Structure 1
Amino acid sequence: MQDLRTVLSSDTIIIGDGAIGTMLQSRGLVAGTMPEAWNSERPEDMLAVHRAYLEAGANYLTTNTFGANRIRMREGGLGSDVAGTVERAVALARQVAEGQAWVAGSVGPTGRLMQPLGDLSLAEAEDVYAEQIEALIAAGVDLIVVETHHDVEEAGAAVRMARQLGNLPVFASFAFNPRGRTMMGLKAADAAVAMEALGVSAVGANCGDGPEAVAKALEQMHGATDLPLLARSNAGIPQLGKDAVTLWDIEAAAMAQHAQRFVSLGARIVGGCCGTGPSHVAAIRAALL
Structure 2
Amino acid sequence: MSKFEDLLAQKGALLADGATGTNLFDMGLVSGDAPELWNTDEPEKIKALHQSFVDAGSDIILTNTFGCNRHRLKLHNAEGRVRELNMAGVALAREVAATVDREVLIGGSIGPTGELFQPLGALSYEDGVAAFKEQMAGLVEGGADILWVETMSAVEEMKAAAEAAQDFDLPLVITASFDTAGKTMMGLSPTGLGDLQSQFACTPVAIGSNCGVGASDLLAAIIDITEAYPEAIVVAKANCGIPQIRGDEVVYTGTPELMAKYTHKALDAGARIIGGCCGTSPVHLAAMRAALDNHTAGLRPTLDQVIAEIGPLVSPPNKAADAARAEDGEGGGRRRGRRRG
Does TM-score exceed 0.5, indicating one fold?
Answer: yes
- The equivalent residue for 2:54 is 54
Is the 1:234–1:276 contact (alpha carbons within 8 Å) kept by the matching residues of 2? yes
Query: For 1:178 and 1:112, how far apart are their aligned partners in 2?
Result: 19
- The equivalent residue for 1:171 is 173
SS at match of 1:171: strand
- The equivalent residue for 1:210 is 214
Query: For 2:250 and 2:244, how far apart are their aligned partners in 1?
Result: 6
Is the 1:193–1:224 contact (alpha carbons within 8 Å) kept by the matching residues of 2? no
Is the 1:179–1:216 contact (alpha carbons within 8 Å) kept by the matching residues of 2? no
- The equivalent residue for 2:149 is 146
* Structure 2: 5+ residue stretches without partners: 294-341
SS at match of 1:180: coil
AA in 1 matched with 2:290: A
**Structure 1 position 77, deviation (Å):** 3.5
**Structure 1 position 254, deviation (Å):** 0.4
4+ residue stretches of structure 1 with deviation over 3 A? 7-11
Is the 2:19–2:279 contact (alpha carbons within 8 Å) kept by the matching residues of 1? yes
**Structure 1 position 280, deviation (Å):** 1.3
- The equivalent residue for 2:107 is 104
Task: State the structure with more CA Rg.
Answer: 2
Query: For 2:17 and 2:238, how far apart are their aligned partners in 1?
Result: 11
Query: For 1:143 and 1:79, how far apart are their aligned partners in 2?
Result: 23
2:271 aligns with one of 267, 283, 286: 267
- The equivalent residue for 2:287 is 283
User: Which stretch of structure 1 is more off in the superposition, 93-102 or 25-34?
Assistant: 93-102
Query: For 1:85 and 1:245, how far apart are their aligned partners in 2?
Result: 28
Matches within 5 A, 1:23-62: 23-62=23-62
How many corresponding residue pairs? 286
| Distance change (3 Å), C-alpha of 1:60 and 1:42 | same
Query: For 2:199 and 2:291, how far apart are their aligned partners in 1?
Result: 33
Query: For 2:197 and 2:64, how far apart are their aligned partners in 1?
Result: 23
SS at match of 1:165: coil
AA in 2 matched with 1:189: T
| Distance change (3 Å), C-alpha of 1:196 and 1:10 | farther
- The alignment-based identity, stated in percent, is 38
Query: For 1:151 and 1:165, how far apart are their aligned partners in 2?
Result: 21
User: Which stretch of structure 1 is more off in the superposition, 175-184 or 66-75?
Assistant: 175-184
SS at match of 2:236: strand
Query: For 1:274 and 1:47, how far apart are their aligned partners in 2?
Result: 18
**Structure 1 position 10, deviation (Å):** 6.1
Query: For 1:161 and 1:29, how far apart are their aligned partners in 2?
Result: 31
So what's the TM-score if we normalise by structure 1?
Answer: 0.94
So what's the TM-score if we normalise by structure 2?
Answer: 0.80
SS at match of 1:173: strand
- The equivalent residue for 1:88 is 88
- The equivalent residue for 2:14 is 14
SS at match of 1:90: helix
Query: For 1:10 and 1:78, how far apart are their aligned partners in 2?
Result: 41
AA in 2 matched with 1:84: E
**Structure 1 position 58, deviation (Å):** 0.1
Deviations 1:100-124 (Å, cap 9, x if unpaired)?
4101100000111111111221101
Query: For 1:185 and 1:246, how far apart are their aligned partners in 2?
Result: 25
Query: For 2:180 and 2:36, how far apart are their aligned partners in 1?
Result: 30
**Structure 1 position 210, deviation (Å):** 1.3
| Distance change (3 Å), C-alpha of 1:37 and 1:115 | same
Is the 1:134–1:165 contact (alpha carbons within 8 Å) kept by the matching residues of 2? no
AA in 1 matched with 2:48: A
User: Which stretch of structure 1 is more off in the superposition, 77-86 or 168-177?
Assistant: 77-86
* Structure 1: 5+ residue stretches without partners: none
1:255 aligns with one of 256, 259, 265: 259
Query: For 2:63 and 2:3, how far apart are their aligned partners in 1?
Result: 19
**Structure 1 position 245, deviation (Å):** 3.7
